[in-house]
Amino acid sequence: MGFRHRLSSRELAAMGVFTAFVAVATMIVSAYVPITRGYFNIGETMVYTAALLMGPIVGGFAGGVGSMIADVALGYTAFAPGTLIIKGAEGLIVGYLAQYRFNSTSKTRVTILAVTAGLILALVIWWGGISFFTGDIELTFGVAPSTITLTLGVPELFWTALAIAAFLLVTTAGVYLDPQVSWLVFVILLGGAEMIVGYYFYETYILGQVLAAAEILVNVGQVMIGLVVAIPLARSINRIMPRNLRRQPTVAEAK
């Protein structure tokens, strides 16, 4: 299974629609994080949805271009070139791998994979939260000049609880839900890992940010929100979408 060389009119239309969706989702909830000089957003929800529904080409284009448009519109122009490549690759990875069906008959193998993924995610959340986001955290919502700044007091216990919750969520999804949903969880985590690592290197070596590691936790949060929203959303849309408009085959259509 590979990429199509000729895009259909349906895919071209989807590129435009999902690019707009990604840009709007990224801008509609954006919070400036001073320690990272970047911002938290929910754009991953639409990047993953586009990739799961329409495949790697649409997912990659919408993820890269839509997110880049949002960066420019919100005033984070320095991030835009990196975003085009990093978010584009993220959508491409998720869209490509999501085409495959996971049919492992080994419960032990599935369990080990789920526990490993959950443990890695939990450790990143706990380490990042304790190291960079404990105490008084300042967040600025909105687009200048219409902004709201909030200062939140975040205890260490919050990050411990969140790490445990993330571990249980990923492990439960991997072990107890149907294999297709489990596979989509792993696919999104892989795509999210590319995004997290990509931004770390871009901010460290291109933008020269000393605290680029703090952005890791922000991006982990974006991946988790995108994962929780995109999988059920894509499966629901596929159930009501006319069959002749669906992209075949895709695990997002698993019932």
Distance CA 78, CA 72 (A): 8
Number of domain units in the chain: 1
Distance CA 110, CA 120 (A): 16
- Which CATH number do you get for residue 177? 1.10.1760.20
Domain span at 234: 9-253
Identify whether 64 is part of a domain: yes
Q: What is the pLDDT of residues 59-105, one digit of tens each?
A: 999 999 999 999 999 989 999 999 999 999 999 999 999 988 665 55
Q: Quick one: pLDDT band at residue 8, thresholds 50, 70, 90? A: confident
Q: Are 187 and 97 spatial neighbours (Cβ–Cβ below 8 Å)?
A: yes
Q: What is the pLDDT of residues 26-45, one digit of tens each?
A: 998 888 877 777 888 999 99
What is the average per-residue pLDDT within 202-226? 87
Identify whether 180 is part of a domain: yes
Identify whether 150 is part of a domain: yes
Q: Is 175 helix (H, G, I), strand (E, B) or coil?
A: helix
The per-residue pLDDT for 252 is 46
Q: Are 48 and 67 spatial neighbours (Cβ–Cβ below 8 Å)?
A: no
Identify whether 161 is part of a domain: yes
Task: Identify residue 97 by its one-letter amino acid code.
Answer: L
Identify whether 1 is part of a domain: no
What is the average per-residue pLDDT within 187-208? 93
The per-residue pLDDT for 200 is 93
